[in-house]
Structures are given as structure tokens and as C-alpha cells.
Structure 1
Amino acid sequence: MSGSGPRGPVAVAVVGAGVISTQYLGNLASFPDVEVVAVADLDTARAKATADEYGIPVSGDVDTVLALPEVELVVNLTVPAAHATVARAALRAGKHVYGEKPLALDPVEGGKLLAEAAALGLRVGNAPDTFLGAGVQSAIRAIESGAIGAPVAATTAVLNFGPERWHPNPEFLFQYGAGPLFDLGPYYLTALVALLGPATRVAASARQGRAERVIGSGPRAGTRFDVEVPTHVTALIDFAAGATAATTFSFDSALPRMQFEVTGTEGTLELGDPNTFGGPLRVRGGSDEDWRDLPVTGTDAGRGIGVLEMARSLRADRPHRASGEMAQHVLDTMTAITASAADGEFRSVPSRCAVPEPLPSDWSPTDPTLG
């Protein structure tokens, strides 16, 4: 790797020791290019328990870990309402930051965050990183090879009964900044942007299936709570390159379902769930009697590969792929969908973003020489 800056693994501090942190920490511990040196949480006892479980030397509150001079990159796994606040604190402490989705609760806040990072010469990365997995990356390569001709349209849907049945503390997933659009939407919209390029305008409709939900698992099972956001959202999306998409996000379906297809002039590509990192991947051309499986190559290592790719990019002094600009564009798109559903009008998506270069097919999370 090039550059005259720091060498060796990138020192990482994780902020937020909730449910999702276990997936990140388990993976980050296996990546040779990063070293988790601290964990922070509002509940410092939970931070300590998490640090002890993974053999991480420092735990405490946010100020404690941001004060560590060795920390280069903060991984922000807090609830959506805290994303921008924690990210800003990390930047002002001189740290690069990689956050869970969404980038912020609204585009104005997200834009301010990116502007501050640029002024400080620091980087912002953001989930989801699932588009870096073998499934979507193989789909990108298939489209680039001409497997379906020119992309014309996409059809995507994710419908389930809602996370309150399995999540022990699900209230935040039904508050402003979440719901199925902001919770599940980033996986699908980021994959669409990676496949089809940036969006230009949207039209949408939304409703709320139930005004109250009941926690279904854990020590608070049976607790009722209010729903603040729409729980079924359908959107039409136009893309700058000419393709369109129809997509649905729902927490109101008794029958869980998932669909992700890209239709081209010569065939249709069927992807797996973009909330995962693998396949399957199938294609069917106009003269085919049935679907054909396509090879799925790349990594399915799981959440945290965006952090790893960002760390490698820092050391190599090159742009990282799960960028803040891409997350801002997805946030702009979701906000436009929300506004369109409220007023019944087409809404423009104000930002654009660069489409990241595909990962090499042999990119490896455990071998730094391969990527």
C-alpha cells in the first residue's frame, strides 16, 4: 500500500453496543487490516461487558473513547436519532467515521456532516455495505458483461410482519428516521444505485397498518408502544441513466416476501436479498425456457466489510466505496419518497453520487494483498 501516513492495522473504536454490534465485532476481530481498541455506549456497563467478551482493551462513554489518540476510525452503531450527533463528535475529535444507516435523520443534517468532514480533511463512510457482498457485486459484473442487455427497469419488494416480533427493544424502528423505508430501504436503494446509478425523481404512496404494536420477545414481551411512521411504502423511482424501479417496503405483511429483479432489453436478472451478502443470482433470456444460475463470486463475510474496505482505502489513499456521498444520495431519495407519499406529487432527488467501482472478484477480507 502507498502513502506516507500511518501503517499497519487501522485502530477502530465502536460506539454503540446494541444488537447489531455483535455482528460487526465478530467480523472486525477477524480482519487483519483493522484493530478494535475501544467500545463505548451510553450504558457503560454494557460497553464493558461487550469489550470483555471480545477482548477489547478500553470501554466507557463516548468522550472516553474519542479521547484515545490511537483511534483513527469510529464505527457509529447508535440508534438513528444519534447518528449525526455521534458522527459530528467523532469528526471534531479528529477521527474518520463509518456509521450505520441512515446517515442522518434528514438530508440537511447529512449534508452538514459531509461538509464538516471535508473541511476537516476526514472521511465519512456509511452502511449498508451489503452491496459490496458477492451477490450484488456479481450482479454488477453480469450486467456489465451484457447478460441482460441494457437495463430498463427493476422490481423490488421486502414485506414482513415487523421487527417487534423478534427485537427485544423495537420502539426506535417505528419512530422518525426508521420504519420500513428507512430501516430496510437503504439495502434495496443502495443496491439499486450500485446497479443502475443515481436516482433523479420519485413518486410514492404510504400508509400505517396499525397505530400500536406489541413487543413479542424478550423481557419486555407484551409491552405496547405507539407507531409514529408509515409502515407500508410503495415508490416509483427514475434513474439518471434511464432505468426505472418499482419498490415496496412493508412491516404490515403476514406473509414475509422478498423480490429483487432487474429487467433488461435481452433478459432479466434475479438477485438474492440485498440485506445479505451472497446469492443466489439467476438470469433468464427471451429464448430461455427456465432460469439459469450465474456464478456468485466475492465475499460474504458479513457486516463490517465496508469498514474494512474503508480502512484499506485509507492506507492506500484511494476513495472508499461505502461512501458518505452515496449514503446522502440514498437519504435524499428516501426523504423524497416520504414527501411524495405525503403530497401525492413527483419529487426530485436533489443530489447525485458517483457509482463505486466494483470490487475485484477475488477481493478477500482476510488477505490484504487481494484488495
Structure 2
Amino acid sequence: MQIGIVGCGYVADFYMTTLVNHPELRLAGVYDRDPERRAVFCRHYNARAFDSLEALLAEPEIGLILNLTNPHSHYVVTKAALEAGKHVYSEKPLAMEYAQAEALVELAEAKGLSLSGAPASILGEAGATVREAVASGQVGSVRLVYAELEDGPVFQEPVHEWRSVTGAPWPAEDEYRVGCTLEHAGYYLTWMSLMFGPVERMTAFASRLYPDKGTGQPPDSVANDFSTACLEFRSGVVARITCGLVAPQDRSLHIIGDRGVLTVTDSWASQGPVYLRSPSGEAPGRLGRLLHRIQRYLPGRIFLGRKLPTPRFGGKLPSYPSQMDFARGPAAQAAAIRAGVPAPLPARFVLHITEIALAMQNAGGGAVIQLRSRF
């Protein structure tokens, strides 16, 4: 399938790096509202540049649009693409307001078009391993999930020096304005919702702990940099998810069941390790008993468990920390379109993830929320 890219910023290079893993996707055109950025990007990748969004959307050979623009532009660009009869894969979030996201889903359904979106890390090797372990009952009945998405105080790092492969700067002001919750919560919300179903009810809290991120932005224009939520899934599973830019980096996931605990060390690593251990966390034998006694006096864990085998992947990935196959989501969507079936991450599912993330981001001093969306 021929694809078009809208937005040549920092994340676009991640998609281009991994596009080589999916030769069934062919880049037919690129547009960015910044002519200089567009020219640099297209020259680097030998891609065809379009002078306007309208011209790109009018290209008949393009079937799928990748919306990689700033989050505040997601709604407008996706709406235009759908109205032009194009399928769309959008970077997160689907829109900055729930009503807008819902309107996009309804528009796609009315036109018979496929609408999907990031993140698609659940489709990676680690995600597949976790889903198989849960489905096959290796941890028994799942009772509780702890999901950590702490990215550390990046605003204390030299972010103004960060550049993508083609020289795009890391969009610090946009990142702080949009907020770490909308940027990161989806990484584990997608995993949990695909395994345990929709969230029926949630209790959330959010706060802005560092109003000054060193960018000169007015404090009231900076989003909350800490949020946490307790989620009640329709299946009965309960989860706690935390997002932040204050605590030390931690992107781990712990799925606790009657018979064991699954641990993922990093949601941003498609091929990252997945561990299985007993409910008590002990390793087998005398060594296990010794480690169990020692660990009671240590802040961390020595034994994560038995490493589960994961599918092999020989493709190309971006460098640390974003070691994900970004193009896998669009590739899976394109395959579903060709087969005439829903995308692995269909529109109503992406809407549900968007609603949860927006509720977390905007929870303020605390709120109990009944979710409206279903999938």
C-alpha cells in the first residue's frame, strides 16, 4: 500500500527508520508546513515533497495517511484526510479533546474508512509474549496490574541539543504543553485494554510539580507532569498506572495473578525481556531462598524471574530509548485493510485509550470517572 506522511518532525524519523522492515508499505509523498524542514526530510529519504496538504491528499495512489503532526494538529489533519477518502494512522493522542476524537471515529465509520493510531508497541515481540503468557494462564487469574511510565526529569537534561536523524529538534515546548500523560499513558493502556477489555470506571489524580521547565513558557501553559489512575476493567482486573517527569525513569509493567507475576522492564523496547516468577517472587532452590532473605533488606529486586522466550526479530529499530518498530502499526493496519477486516487497533479502541489518557491528564485534584467509550 502506498502511504503519505504529514509532519516531518522528530518522531517522523522513527517511522522512516523502521519503514524498511515493511516493504509492503511504499512512501509516495510527504508534506510539512515548514518548507525547510520538508525539504531536508525529503532530501534525506529521497521522498517526494508536496507543497500543500490538499495536494498530498489529492494524490490518488496514496491509500493511507500517517498523521505525525503536533498533537494540537491531529484533529484537523485527520479530519481532512478522512474527508478526502484516505485511511488514517495517527500518532497519539487521536485528538486533544474527547468530542473531537469521537467525531473522527464517527466520520471514519460513516465513510467506511480505517482509522487507527499509536502507540502500537503491543504488536511487538514483548507484547506478543505477554499476551500469550496471560492467555495461556501462566500467571493464573490476573488480579492486579502495576504500570509505570516515569520518564525521569528530562527538563533537567540538555534537551535543546537533542536532534533526530535528519536534524529535527526535540519539541520540548510542545511536549511540556501536551503533557507526559497524553504522550506516554497509551503505551501500557493499549497493552492492558487489549488483554483485559475496556475500563468501566477509574479514579485519577494529576498535578503540575515543576511549572518551570526551563523553556520560558507561562506556567499555566505547561501540562501536569504527574498523573496516576486506578482502573477497573470490565473483566474484573484492577490496575494502577502512573505517568510522570519527576521520579527516576521506570517503564516497567507487573501483571500479578494467582499463580505468578509477569514483569516487563521497558515498554519502549519491542524486543525487551519478559520475566515470569512465582507470586512470592522467589527463585527456585536454596539460592532462591537466600535471595528472598536478602531482598527484604534491599530497595530493588535481584531476581526478576525466568526469562520467557520471545519471537525473533531481525529488523531495524531506532536507537535507545525508543527501540520500537514504529512502522509496525501502519503495516498491520494496511494488512487489515487489504484483508477487509478491522485493524488490530481499531478506531473505537483508540478512542477508548484517548478518553482514559485525557481523563488522567485533566484529573486535577482527583476525580472518579465513568468511561463513555467502548470497543
Query: Structure 2 length as normaliser, TM-score?
Result: 0.84
- What secondary structure is seen at the aligned counterpart in 2 of 1:331? helix
Provide the rounded CA distance (Å) in 1 between the counterparts of 2:138 and 2:306: 11
Partner of 1:331: 354
RMSD: 1.8
Alignment pair present for 1:265 and 2:258: yes
Alignment pair present for 1:191 and 2:191: yes
Partner of 1:248: 242
- What secondary structure is seen at the aligned counterpart in 2 of 1:318? coil
Query: Which sections of structure 1, spanning at least 5 residues, go unmatched?
Result: 1-9, 215-222, 354-371
Provide the rounded CA distance (Å) in 2 between the counterparts of 1:287 and 1:245: 19
Provide the rounded CA distance (Å) in 2 between the counterparts of 1:349 and 1:186: 16
Tell me which amino acid in the other structure corresponds to 1:345. A
Match of 2:218 among 226, 237, 249: 226
Partner of 1:171: 173
Tell me which amino acid in the other structure corresponds to 1:285. S
Q: 1:343 to 1:92 in 2, by over 3 A?
A: same
Provide the rounded CA distance (Å) in 1 between the counterparts of 2:352 and 2:149: 21
Query: Which sections of structure 2, spanning at least 5 residues, go unmatched?
Result: 163-169, 284-304, 318-324
Length, aligned pairs only = 332
Provide the rounded CA distance (Å) in 1 between the counterparts of 2:106 and 2:151: 37
Alignment pair present for 1:209 and 2:214: no
Provide the rounded CA distance (Å) in 2 between the counterparts of 1:288 and 1:333: 31
Match of 2:110 among 115, 119, 130: 119
- What secondary structure is seen at the aligned counterpart in 1 of 2:152? coil
Match of 1:294 among 308, 322, 327: 308
Q: 1:96 to 1:163 in 2, by over 3 A?
A: farther
Q: 1:29 to 1:280 in 2, by over 3 A?
A: closer
Q: 1:275 to 1:30 in 2, by over 3 A?
A: closer
Structure 1 stretches of at least 4 aligned residues deviating more than 4 Å after TM superposition: 298-301
Tell me which amino acid in the other structure corresponds to 2:259. E
- 1:247-297 CA-to-partner distances (Å, cap 9, x unmatched) read 1111112x2223210001111110132233122101112477321111112
Partner of 1:182: 182
Displacement, 1:150?
A: 0.8
Percent of aligned positions with the same letter in both sequences?
27
- 1:306-326 CA-to-partner distances (Å, cap 9, x unmatched) read 100111111111211122221
Provide the rounded CA distance (Å) in 2 between the counterparts of 1:107 and 1:287: 41
Q: 1:12 to 1:153 in 2, by over 3 A?
A: same
Provide the rounded CA distance (Å) in 1 between the counterparts of 2:238 and 2:342: 28
Displacement, 1:344?
A: 2.9
Partner of 2:64: 73
Partner of 1:155: 146
Tell me which amino acid in the other structure corresponds to 1:296. T
Higher mean Cα deviation, 296-305 or 28-37?
Answer: 296-305
Displacement, 1:169?
A: 2.8
Decide whether the 8 Å contact of 2:139 with 2:258 is kept in 1: yes
